């Protein structure tokens, strides 16, 4: 095994390297299947769609269940213990090659992604994560493009979308968060992935395997707002975007953001934004005519007139606390 793909090499992310997929599969494994420990130069992403499997690394065994995934660095020995329950796995193996003329490279991606969420700076031989709804979809889309032999640019875009989702999903927990922060960050990722569902606080606490009261308390302590408030703000933010970037009806928009009753949606929107959804859309249409007919303005064009950003809200709370002291 010569020159394994090292995801933690500083030069890999400081210089332009393009990705190359050398092997992939999406298949079922019957009970009793096993794979002896082996190593290869390419790095690997393994995603469990259903069932359970146990991977064996030199230092420990790792159990994976549905929606779990693991990123294995190049050159790391690993194997599969005998499968107990039938499982379905999607797998992708890849390496990087120096490519100064590449359209999308490791250098450009590393610059774009938030460094506090960048997982490939810690030297772990493998990283395990649990999907919140984005990694599995990104990997499935990539495999579909590979199966249909689409042009390379589309495959590259799909690969880096997958890589970004992996980084955002497993990056933050690697930081030195205390336990409440870890739970809250998992909850926030879960809500962002599933805000369009009929999602309740009970659903979120069950996903985290936490008592509902404890979860609500630590969420408020960390974010200065309740889980319901955060989820509602998330839905209203998405609704504002849909109002100015689509021609969807109000009832379609409220359904798309997970609020099933239009009257309830309109009340929430007016409470958080200050105007009704229809008024918000009309005022943006007026603004767009002032800009010469640009129908869809950017968020920066005036959202704060109606609703300060979440960071503004936190800053106001801090200022209030400071004055109280």
**Res. 58 pLDDT band, cuts 50 70 90:** confident
8 A C-beta contact, residue 12 and residue 98: no
Q: Which of 56-60, 214-218, 315-319 has the lowest mean pLDDT?
A: 315-319
Mean of all residue pLDDT scores within the chain: 80
Write out the residue limits of the CATH 2.60.120.10 domain(s) in the chain.
10-168
Question: Helices (H), strands (E): how many in the chain?
Answer: 13, 9
pTM beyond 0.85: the answer is no
Q: Which CATH class is domain 10-168?
A: mainly beta
Q: Are 88 and 27 in contact (CB under 8 A)?
A: yes
For 70-105, give the secondary structure using H, E and C: EEECCCCCEEECCCCCCEEEEEEEEEEEECCCCCCC
- Go through the chain and tell me how many residues it has: 325
Instruction: Express each pLDDT in 197-251 by its tens digit.
Output: 888 999 999 888 888 998 998 888 878 889 999 999 999 989 998 998 888 999 9
pLDDT given at position 113: 65
Which tokens go with 207? 């996903």
- The distance in angstroms from the start CA to the end CA of the chain is 63
Q: What is the 3-state secondary structure (H, E, C) of 198-266?
A: CCCHHHHHHHHCCCHHHHHHHHHHHHCCCHHHHHHHHHHHHHHHHHHHCCCCHHHHHHHCCCCCHHHHH
- Looking at domain 179-324, which CATH architecture does it have? Orthogonal Bundle (1.10)
64 bridge partner residues: 53
Paired with 38 in beta bridges are 78
Which residue spans of the chain are classified as CATH 1.10.10.60? 179-324
Radius of gyration of the chain (CA): 23
């Amino acid at each position: 095994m010569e020159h394994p793909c090292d995801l933690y090499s500083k030069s890999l992310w400081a210089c332009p390297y393009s990705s190359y997929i050398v092997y992939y599969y999406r298949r079922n494994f019957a009970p009793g299947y096993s794979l002896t420990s082996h190593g290869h130069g390419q790095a690997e992403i393994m995603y469990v769609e259903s069932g359970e499997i146990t991977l064996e690394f030199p230092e420990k065994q790792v159990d994976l269940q549905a929606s779990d995934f693991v990123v294995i660095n190049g050159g790391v020995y690993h194997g599969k213990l005998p499968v107990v329950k039938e499982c379905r796995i999607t797998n992708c193996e890849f390496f990087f090659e120096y490519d100064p003329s590449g359209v999308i490279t490791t250098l450009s991606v590393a610059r774009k992604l938030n460094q506090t969420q960048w997982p490939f700076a810690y030297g772990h031989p493998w990283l395990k994560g649990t999907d919140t709804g984005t990694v599995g979809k990104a990997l499935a889309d990539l495999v579909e493009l590979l199966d249909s032999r689409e042009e390379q640019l589309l495959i590259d875009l799909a690969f880096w979308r997958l890589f970004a989702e992996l980084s955002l999903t497993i990056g933050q927990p690697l930081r030195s968060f205390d336990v409440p922060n870890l739970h809250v960050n998992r909850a926030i990722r879960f809500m962002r992935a599933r805000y369009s569902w009929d999602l309740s606080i009970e659903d979120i606490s069950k996903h985290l395997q936490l008592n509902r009261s404890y979860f609500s308390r630590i969420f408020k302590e960390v974010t200065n707002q309740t889980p319901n408030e955060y989820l509602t703000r998330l839905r209203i933010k998405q609704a504002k975007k849909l109002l100015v970037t689509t021609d969807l009806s109000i009832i379609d928009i409220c359904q798309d953001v997970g609020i099933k009753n239009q009257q309830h949606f309109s009340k929430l929107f007016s409470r958080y934004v200050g105007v009704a959804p229809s008024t918000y859309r009309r005022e943006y249409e007026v603004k767009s005519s002032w800009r010469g007919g640009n129908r869809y303005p950017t968020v920066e064009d005036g959202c704060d007139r109606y609703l300060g950003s979440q960071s503004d809200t936190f800053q106001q709370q801090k200022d209030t606390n400071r004055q109280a002291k």
